[in-house]
Structure 1
Amino acid sequence: MRAHQALAFLLLFVIASGASENASTSRGCGLDLLPQYVSLCDLDTIWGIVVEAVAGAGALITLLLMLILLVRLPFIKDKEKKDPVGLHFLFLLGTLGLFGLTFAFIIREDETICSVRRFLWGVLFALCFSCLLSQAWRLRRLVRRGKSPSGWQLVGAALCLALVQVIIAVEWLVLTVLRDAKPACAYEPMDFAMALIYDMVLLAATLGLALFSLCGKFQKWKQNGACLLVTAFLSVLIWVAWMTMYLFGNAELRQGEAWGDPTLAIALVASGWVFVIFHAIPEIHCAILPTPQESTPNYFDTSQPRMRETAFEEDVQLPRPYMENKAFSMDEHNAALRTAGFRNGSLGTRPSAPFRSNVYQPTEMAVVLNGGTTQIYTLKTPWQPTDLG
């Protein structure tokens, strides 16, 4: 009995000591977590928790935007808005990769993690910048001509531009890791920056072409060009800031190794949120927004051209029945006058009563518009009695 009690006490002591040791080393993490992932939950590493939360929120927003664009795709009828949908998906996919790559700079590095960092950093940014450059090309065409390249042309151009950085990243890894047999984590900050020169070229080209997208006769696309210009400009500022800090600032502050990963992780998160807020959300809103219907013409608007004013006699021809009725009525009228004159002349006396005639004569013509057709009616009144004497 005492042996069982001693064994149970020893087991509880081992568990308590292990928990206290884990709590002292990584406060907030579980007991069975691998050491390389401790930074994801270590409450003592404040920057990792904050960057992880911001990156996770950005990833959720990006997935939500992709879902909205996918659901609203069948309702997009305008060709100019439907063509770049594939490019938007590709851009959101690259932005989602940036948020995911942030976690690779929070966890502890090893050979695999370092290889992923070195390869995906340039490739993902090249994909995003290639999409932005294709978008600038599209907006330039829309502002000048009112027509954009097809969707396959936009996606193909973006993929071809990003493929160049894929080749550069593969060559860099092969030359440094396989040929020179160096560890994947053993690279200088300057080497890392030199491998990203092509990304800088894409960013500079995007900024320059975005400026030209503001010049053209089609005004409605200039708002998209302004959002693209703001996105490219803020991206330039972020790249200048993180490269300055990564290459020179950390060394001057004697925090090169300690602040290297936080600098790169913050740059990824900041770039991703700039892409989402200033480019993805405005473009998707513009794509899913229904095209306003053309309003009916306002005939009271003096700025609109007026209809041709012509005389009634020029366009409206009187029908033949009206002319015949008019001639017949005048003949009856003349005949009645001659008869009255003959009677007065034969009797030689003034008639005792005025001569009354029931002959009708046309007195008024009415023009009635019935269903867009012109109908002419002749209104007749009895002949007014007159004193023939």
Structure 2
Amino acid sequence: MRPHQVLAFLLLFVIASGASENASTSRGCGLDLLPQYVSLCDLDTIWGIVVEAVAGAGALITLLLMLILLVRLPFIKDKEKKDPVGLHFLFLLGTLGLFGLTFAFIIREDETICSVRRFLWGVLFALCFSCLLSQAWRVRRLVRHGKSPSSWQLVGMALCLMLVQVIIAIEWLVLTVLRDAKPACAYEPMDFAMALIYDMVLLVATLGLALFTLCGKFKKWKQNGACLLVTAFLSLLIWVAWMTMYLFGNAELRQGDAWGDPTLAITLVASGWVFVIFHAIPEIHCTILPAPQENTPNYFDTSQPRMRETAFEEDVQLPRTYMENKAFSMDEHNAALRTAGFRNGSVGNRPSAPFRSNVYQPTEMAVVLNGGTIPTAPPTYTGRHLW
């Protein structure tokens, strides 16, 4: 066999072996990737890549909000805004956990992954809903009384409410996995939904309490209550939609196994973005925004009364020293004018009538400067010479 035929045969063998090896892996993934993580990069599973990208963006935004709140914390002076900072951190931590849990529903399930799914789903949502309920209690107090509960009360209430779901999740895992010796992934959709009843109670309580945040005499806090109400309402819609699809819709469409994980992953991403957009961003903006000064007038507010327009003589009083100096200077000026009148326009010992009618005594000038009126008759001439 000729050498060039041998080289051609080897080249074809390498290409064939490489093609067979690439055929065994998914498109878009590396050769050394474990099979359970293939859904993270498989271009044929487009829903996983889209959900993964949206969840990653949400996690970055949440981390950025936590960093902004941490940097601006020393500059927050208002007590009513500084008290819920710990609650905001706790809520952002729960939202970050929701975005991170999304990846557990994209990768292939095993015993560990299924245990993490079953435990963290209810606990993370319980943490977020507990923070929302504590926030509703705070805004309700602010709207009615103008005072906020302390930071320890808000954080303690949220953690105590979340602890109930932690107990429920641990008990569910112990009863189904350890006692009955069932696989962690072998559970019915209805069992999964029944373990989340406490989360639904927290959500409904938050929505009900948020309605009362719109009633009160301190109106500047009602905007926070409106954002809280929108967040709870949208979260309720998401939960109704995913539970309907997860329990009944997938079975009706005969896609129960194929669409179960995408339904739960999309629910996590949608809920996380609702929490970020409608609650986290408005609350943090309100917290770090400096309070306006009460004494600073708002010239663009047309509802404020306009300033009273008065005459200059009514509001401005000249100093007495200035008035005396002004009268004295006018006295010297009038004396000089009368001297010129005697020399140029006088008849005998009396000045002419036109000049006499335009010259006044110093006392008359003082009366004029004090707001009086000019006398109608000229002063009486005494007949004395000024020189």
TM-score bucket (shorter structure):
0.7 to 0.9
Is the Cα contact below 8 Å between 1:105 and 1:264 reproduced in 2? yes
Q: CA 1:5–1:214 in structure 2 vs 1: closer, same or farther (change >3 Å)?
A: farther
Please give the alpha-carbon distance, in whole angstroms, between the structure 1 residues aligned to 2:17 and 2:286.
Answer: 59
Per-residue CA distance 1:98-149 (angstroms, 9 max, x = gap): 0000000000000000000000000000000000000000000010011110
CA separation of 1:139 and 1:368: change in aligned 2, threshold 3 A: farther
1:74 CA displacement:
1.0
Structure 1 28/150 Cα, relative in aligned 2: closer, same or farther at 3 Å? same
Partner of 1:308: 308
The answer to whether the 8 A contact 2:341-2:351 is kept is: no
Distance 1:88 1:354 in 2: 87
Contact 1:364 1:380 in 2 (8 A): no
| Structure 2 Cα separation of the partners of residues 116 and 9 of structure 1 | 51
Give the distance between the partners of 2:383 and 2:132, measured in 1 at CA: 76
Question: Contact between 2:105 and 2:265, CA under 8 Å: does it hold in 1?
Answer: yes
Identity of aligned residues (%): 94
Q: 3-state DSSP class of the match of 1:20?
A: helix
CA gap of 1:43–1:17, structure 2 versus 1, over 3 A, is same
The runs of at least 4 aligned residues of structure 1 exceeding 6 Å deviation read 1-12, 297-372, 377-383
Contact 2:139 2:221 in 1 (8 A): yes
Offset of residue 75 of structure 1: 1.1
Question: Within 2, Cα distance between the matches of 1:98 and 1:365?
Answer: 86
Decide whether the 8 Å contact of 1:366 with 1:379 is kept in 2: no
Q: 1:387 maps to which residue?
A: none
Does the Cα contact within 8 Å between 1:361 and 1:381 map onto a contact in 2?
Answer: no
Mapped partners of 2:113, 2:171: distance in 1? 18
Q: Say whether the 8 Å CA contact 2:313–2:371 is kept in structure 1.
A: no
Deviation at 1:16, TM superposition (A): 5.7
Q: Which runs of 5+ in 1 are unaligned?
A: 384-389
CA contact (8 A) 2:327 2:365 kept: no
What residue is the counterpart of 1:378 in the other structure?
A: 382
The separation in 2 between residues aligned to 1:283 and 1:167, in whole angstroms, is: 30
Deviation at 1:293, TM superposition (A): 1.3
**Structure 1 residues 114 and 369 mapped into 2: Cα distance closer, same or farther (>3 Å)?**
farther
Contact 2:80 2:147 in 1 (8 A): yes
Q: Alignment partner of 1:381: what SS?
A: coil
Note closer, same or farther for the CA distance 1:8–1:172 as it changes in structure 2 (3 Å cut).
Answer: farther
> In structure 2, do the counterparts of structure 1 residues 379 and 206 end up closer, same or farther at CA, with 3 Å as the change threshold?
farther
Change in 2 beyond 3 A, CA 1:340/1:208 = closer
Residues 230 and 278 of structure 1 are in contact (CA less than 8 Å); yes or no, is this contact kept in structure 2? Answer: yes
2:366 is paired with a residue of what secondary structure? strand
Alpha-carbon offset, residue 363 of structure 1: 6.3
Q: TM-score, normalization: structure 1?
A: 0.76
Measured after TM superposition, the shift of residue 207 of structure 1 is 0.2
The 1-side partners of 2:44 and 2:252 are apart by 25
Q: 1:41 and 1:139, CA in 2 relative to 1: closer, same or farther beyond 3 A?
A: same
Cα pair distance change 1:9/1:183, threshold 3 Å: farther
Cα drift, residue 295 of structure 1: 3.0
Give 1:20 deviation, angstroms.
3.7
Residue correspondences, number: 379
Q: Encode CA deviations 1:347-381: one digit per residue, 9 max, x unaligned.
A: 99999999999999996999999999xxxx99999
Residue 260 of structure 2: aligned partner: 260
After superposition, where does 1:2-151 map in structure 2 within 5 Å? 13=13, 17=17, 20-23=20-23, 25-151=25-151
Q: Is residue 127–residue 159 contact of structure 2 (8 Å, CA) maintained in 1?
A: yes
Alpha-carbon spacing, 1:378–1:116, altered in 2? closer, same or farther (3 Å): farther
Provide the C-alpha distance between the structure 2 equivalents of 1:284 and 1:341, rounded to a whole number of angstroms. 82
Cα 1:282–1:355 shift into 2, 3 Å? closer
**Take 1:39 and 1:347, find their aligned partners in 2: how far apart are those partners?**
122
- For the residue of structure 1 that corresponds to 2:63, the secondary structure is helix
- CA separation of 1:15 and 1:126: change in aligned 2, threshold 3 A: farther
Task: State the shift of 1:46 in Å.
Answer: 0.7
Q: How far 1:253 moved relative to its partner?
A: 0.4
Mapped to 1, the partners of 2:98 and 2:383 lie a distance apart of 86
Shift of the 297–262 alpha-carbon distance from structure 1 to 2, 3 Å rule, reads closer
**Distance in 2 of aligned mates of 1:22 and 1:230:** 49
Check conservation: 1:59, 1:99, Cα contact below 8 A: yes
Q: Distance in 1 between matches of 2:354 and 2:275?
A: 102
> Given that residues 97 and 124 in structure 1 are in contact (C-alpha distance below 8 angstroms), is that contact kept between their aligned partners in structure 2?
yes
Counterpart in the other structure of 1:335: 335
Instruction: Pick which of 80-89 and 115-124 moved more.
Output: 80-89
Q: Is 1:340–1:355's contact at 8 Å kept on the other side of the alignment?
A: no
TM-score, with structure 2 as normaliser: 0.76
Matched position secondary structure for 2:24: helix
Cα pair 1:365 1:378 within 8 Å, conserved? no
CA gap 1:170/1:315 in 2 versus in 1, 3 angstroms:
same
The 8 Å contact of residues 330 and 365 in structure 2, kept in 1 or not, is answered as no
Distance 1:380 1:209 in 2: 96
Kept after mapping to 2: 8 A contact 1:362/1:381 = no
The 8 Å contact of residues 360 and 382 in structure 1, kept in 2 or not, is answered as no
Q: Residue 87 of structure 1 contacts residue 154 of structure 1 at CA under 8 Å; is this kept in 2?
A: yes
